[in-house]
Amino acid sequence: MFFLEIKADDKNYKKSEFVILPCPYEKTTSYGKGTQKGPEAIIKASKYLEAFDEELAIEPSVAGIYTENPVSISTLYSKTLKTLKNNKRPIILGGEHSLSVEAVRAARKIYPDLSVLCFDAHADLRNKYQGNKQSHACTVRRILEICPVVQVGVRSLSREEFDFAETSGQIKKIFFHNTVHCKPYTVNPLRYTAHDIKKLISLLSKNIYISFDVDVFDPSVMPSTGTPEPGGFFWNDILVLLKQVCKNKNIVGADFVELMPIKNFNAPDYMIAKLIYKLIGYINLQD
Ligand SMILES: [Mn+2]
């Protein structure tokens, strides 16, 4: 299966700016299970996307989208690195959040100034979870060992994580949900103040990697995830922010993780497929 049903042959690889890397990795999920079915569900849903983007009045797919065969966690680093070395932007479909660490490590190798923009309801700042330092609950703590992180949408964390964020000095660059002046009960795309977005952009380096845990969305629109958290973002909030970030920064790669498809309930899967295509469109607009 291919994203947007665009056949993946050598000729297409050469001309593609974007490479979809499905990584159905799931090992340490703690509550709901099923993220290994995420990549397949996103690709399946992408079949129903319009190639034309009405907001941008372009066909983002003209930049070229190539879908790789699914990769394992042990080959994700080398596949991501190869994609970047070929001057393409990897878009990884998870799978559980811990896979981001591998992709970020590869991106940091190519872009020494890299910072990560992380969308997530959870801080993922635990040093260890259930005895495991590679747990999905430790993702951002591990990424911080590689490069700076700016977090958006956090609204659930432990005392340990809170204290680490407050006192370590490592996480000055963090945006908790309540520090972005959003009103989660409206759908007004102007809910962020211009100041919020400016501040966010000022915290990021030029080259950034986006790690997108789908649970940053409100569970009413994104029930298909293992650890849903009330009080999240809606569709337009995310688009407004992504568009501004793409305008100001170079997105070298991204991942979309923690989608846990619910059988016969397609809307959340389709939303993530469309979000990915939106991101491709926003990046295109700057090229
Ligand atoms: Mn999360």
For residue 171, the model assigns a pLDDT of 65
CA–centroid distance, 16 to ligand 1, in Å, is 30
Residues with CB under 5 A from ligand 1 (ion): 120, 122, 213, 215
State the distance from the centre of ligand 1 to the C-alpha of 177, rounded, in angstroms. Answer: 13
For 232, the 3-state DSSP assignment is coil
What pLDDT does residue 136 have?
86
26 CA → ligand 1 middle, Å:
14
pLDDT for residue 285: 86
- Give the whole-angstrom CA distance, residue 115 versus residue 223: 29
Ligand 1 centre distance from Cα of residue 15 (Å): 34
Per DSSP, what are the bridge partners of residue 265?
A: 262
The pLDDT score that the predictor gives to residue 194 is: 72
pLDDT along the chain (287 residues), means of 10: 93 96 88 90 98 96 97 97 98 96 98 95 92 90 94 88 82 60 44 76 94 96 95 89 95 98 97 98 88
pLDDT at 199: 83
Query: Can you give the CATH number for the domain in which 158 is found?
Result: 3.40.800.10
Strand-strand pairing, 18-23 and 207-213:
unpaired
By the 8 A CB rule, do 189 and 232 touch? no
Query: Is 181 annotated as belonging to a binding site?
Result: no
**217 in Cβ contact with 21 (< 8 Å):** no
If one counts the domains in the chain, the total is 1
Distances (CA, A) of 48 to 41, 101, 225: 12, 31, 21
Cα 241 to averaged position of ligand 1 atoms, centre (Å): 19
Residue-number span of the structural domain to which 227 is assigned: 3-286
Tokens at 137, concatenated: 């609950």
Measured in Å, residue 252 CA sits from the centre of ligand 1 at 22
Ligand 1 centre to CA of 180 (Å) is: 18
